[in-house]
Structure 1
Amino acid sequence: MRDGVVGLLAMLGGAWCFSLIALLAAELGSGRVSSHKFQPFELVFWRSFFMLGQTWAALRWAGVAPLGPAGARGLLGLRGLCGVAFMASYYYSLAVLPMSDAVVLTYTSPVLTAFGATFLGEAWHSLDFLGSALCLVGVMMISKPPILFHLLGLKEGNAELSPLGLLAASAAAVCATCVYLIIRILRNKDVHSIVFVNYLAMAAVITAPVLGLAFEETWAWPSLWSLVLLLALASLASLGETMLAVGLKLESAAKATSMNYVQVVFAFCFQRVLLHQPSDWQSNFGAGLISAWGIVALVKEAAFAQDQVCSVSNKPLLKPPRSGPAR
């Protein structure tokens, strides 16, 4: 199977894990599964604490240095800090903006990544650009950001939003873009995919308590059931982040990150099936757009891989002898 197909499937698997993480985090943060409502950075700390144990154990079992190659540690540390900065700015934007506006601004990161990757020498084909645009439209149809719908005259009311919130959501998109590009830069530096996750966990364990204090969060010792859910959250995060790293190492930034939009579809399905929340035709249409592009991207890569296999199999193993003058 061609690396591109494996990369897209890895990104798809990562999107599934991240959507489950969002569902678990929402339940833990709402207090529906325990008496304590977990605060955002409290969740980040416990998730990263268990992740750190899992990544160190996995790297030790694989015989890989947890800190990675010496020449890549600077960028790996930056990857960890960018991941924490993404969480901090994204959570802040969710606190002061309507969730739909925060989500749409944050999900501009695949487009920013594709543009940034052109400076790394990667091509951004017209079909990939069209796919990213369709997915972004799909996200807007599902989330219905008030500021955009107000500007288009589709929604009445005041559309004034917090400037700091808009800045934070934009910063989250930039931080996510930096994470993706750093992984692409280091893809040929012999960095194990779990090492990327390890740096994120290390950075978050150190900075989450500081950020929780800065945001005046109230933390509490979790119950036994909450610890089980937090361990599940960390396991999904470890798997999802590892698959994200694998996908970005095998596939171009534009194609790989466009699969992130599928997270929105998974979340939409959870909303309908598990939480029994209503939807409308705009949301259904938006989910259809994103799903259609995911299918097109996978089929396109699979067809390209098949063409390569056929072209190789049709090549003669030995060149025929060159005819020369008779002796």
Structure 2
Amino acid sequence: MFGSILLRGKTIAQTWYDANVGLLLFAMGQLFSSSMNLFARILETTSDPPYNAMQIVFTRMSITTLACTFYIWIKGVPDAPLGPKEVRPLLVARGLTGFFGLFGMYYSLTYLSLSDATVISFLSPTVAGFACSIFINEKFGRVDKIAGFISFFGVILIAQPTPNLTAGDGTVTTGQRLGAVGVALLGVLGAAGAFTTIRCIGQRAHPLISVNYFAVICTIVSSCALTLSPSLHFVLPRAAWQWALLFSIGICGFCYQFLLTAGLQREKAGRAGNMLYLQMFLAFLFEKLVWNETPNWMEYAGSGIILGSAVWVAVSKRKTETGYDKISTTVTADDIESQPQRPTETYELSDMTANPITPIPPPVTVTNNPRP
């Protein structure tokens, strides 16, 4: 009897794991993403001399480039490394817009708290939805528009355009904080542009090729900026902990991209997207543990408005979804290993209507007429 109970418990646990493995991978990805932002803020605010955002981008993406290129090589990804000719301009655009999204995030960490910079990035899906409605005719409903409009009031509260309110230990001025919010919003536009180009690329290029374009372009642009700009300098680590944090940023960046891709291969985007809110909890937790910082009421209010708007959109979309909205195939790890030459494919009904398949004509029935 005891053995049967253990067997049933194991079966239940295995069933739960099989149903939620995508969510677990996506949640682990958010942990790596939040850890990466934490390490970047430590280097930008506590090192002497401080590390600039360009060097953080260069460090992370150079390591990601090496790791991603090696992974593409050993897996034999098709059309590597440049991808199909017809989507190469879109892949370049994905890399350039992704660079601005990444730089905006890391620069804002210099003058904003970890939670403020994180919550502003939550505007990206709304902006991306608006862009997709223009370029690829995706639906951008009334709820999305209202939620996006309300979210910008949250950004204003986080910016704190009041001379008497300063962030952290009081060394950040209002001008610096407003400038950081402006660059963070530039990062939102960049991230939204990256998402839009990814949607335009669709299944025409392997996801790892897209990630590699992103990493290579970010490495090239950041290295050129560090070399040509007189105000930017490459700071060599002076202590073992600085080397460790720089290396950890690169490793966390690659792990985040890998787990994000693996999670989305096994889980619907709607459920996986809910795991993004885990970043806010981790940001508040890291701030309290590392800097012992507690947000003021304006930061709480602004974060609540943005998060509330994002949750409202997610819940509204879930209510309007039907079983005919999407026709998808979930690719398992075994499928990937057995067919490494083919990327994961997810088909949407809108794709089928945009590129209709020529229907097969009905069979011809031949009737033998009897002789008169």
Deviations 1:209-249 (A, max 9, x none): 22123133242256554333223211221233345567599
Identify unmatched segments of 5+ residues in structure 2. Answer: 1-15, 166-172, 328-372
User: Are residues 290 and 90 of structure 1, via their aligned partners in 2, closer, same or farther at CA, if it must alter by over 3 Å?
Assistant: closer
Q: Does 1:185 align with 2:193?
A: no
Q: Does 1:115 align with 2:133?
A: no
Q: Secondary structure at the match of 2:291?
A: coil
Match of 1:238 in 2: 254
Q: Secondary structure at the match of 1:68?
A: coil
TM-score, L = length of structure 1 = 0.67
Supply the distance in 2 between the matched residues of 1:194 and 1:205 (Cα, whole angstroms): 16
Given the alignment, which residue of 188, 210, 218 partners 1:196?
Answer: 210
Q: Does 1:39 align with 2:34?
A: no
Q: Which structure has more RCO (C-alpha within 8 Å, separation ≥ 6)?
A: 1
Match of 1:84 in 2: 99
Match of 2:67 in 1: 54
User: Are residues 62 and 133 of structure 1, via their aligned partners in 2, closer, same or farther at CA, if it must alter by over 3 Å?
Assistant: farther
The answer (yes or no) to whether the contact 1:110–1:132 under 8 Å persists in 2 is no
One-letter amino acid matched to 1:210: C
One-letter amino acid matched to 2:293: Q
Give the deviation of 1:94 after TM superposition.
Answer: 6.9
Q: Which has the larger radius of gyration?
A: 2
The answer (yes or no) to whether the contact 2:37–2:106 under 8 Å persists in 1 is no
Give the deviation of 1:164 after TM superposition.
Answer: 8.3
Deviations 1:61-87 (A, max 9, x none): 322123333322221122112222344
Query: Alignment identity in percent?
Result: 23
TM-score, L = length of structure 2 = 0.60
The answer (yes or no) to whether the contact 2:129–2:140 under 8 Å persists in 1 is yes
Give the deviation of 1:135 after TM superposition.
Answer: 5.3
Supply the distance in 2 between the matched residues of 1:91 and 1:107 (Cα, whole angstroms): 15
The answer (yes or no) to whether the contact 2:56–2:106 under 8 Å persists in 1 is no
Match of 1:69 in 2: 84
Give the deviation of 1:183 after TM superposition.
Answer: 0.7
User: Are residues 149 and 105 of structure 1, via their aligned partners in 2, closer, same or farther at CA, if it must alter by over 3 Å?
Assistant: farther
One-letter amino acid matched to 1:76: L
Identify unmatched segments of 5+ residues in structure 1. Answer: 151-157, 313-327
Supply the distance in 2 between the matched residues of 1:284 and 1:123 (Cα, whole angstroms): 31
Supply the distance in 1 between the matched residues of 2:317 and 2:247 (Cα, whole angstroms): 35
Aligned length: 290
One-letter amino acid matched to 2:222: A
One-letter amino acid matched to 1:19: S
Give the deviation of 1:14 after TM superposition.
Answer: 4.8
Give the deviation of 1:117 after TM superposition.
Answer: 1.0
One-letter amino acid matched to 2:63: F
Supply the distance in 2 between the matched residues of 1:281 and 1:225 (Cα, whole angstroms): 34
The answer (yes or no) to whether the contact 2:34–2:279 under 8 Å persists in 1 is yes
Give the deviation of 1:44 after TM superposition.
Answer: 1.5
The answer (yes or no) to whether the contact 1:42–1:208 under 8 Å persists in 2 is yes
Match of 2:225 in 1: 211
Supply the distance in 2 between the matched residues of 1:38 and 1:161 (Cα, whole angstroms): 17
Given the alignment, which residue of 24, 29, 33 partners 1:18?
Answer: 33
User: Are residues 237 and 135 of structure 1, via their aligned partners in 2, closer, same or farther at CA, if it must alter by over 3 Å?
Assistant: farther
Give the deviation of 1:109 after TM superposition.
Answer: 3.3
For structure 1, which segment, 233-242 or 257-266, has the greater mean C-alpha deviation from structure 2 after superposition? 257-266
Supply the distance in 1 between the matched residues of 2:72 and 2:281 (Cα, whole angstroms): 33
Given the alignment, which residue of 290, 294, 304 partners 1:278?
Answer: 294
One-letter amino acid matched to 1:270: F
Match of 2:346 in 1: none
Give the deviation of 1:259 after TM superposition.
Answer: 7.2
Q: Secondary structure at the match of 2:139?
A: coil
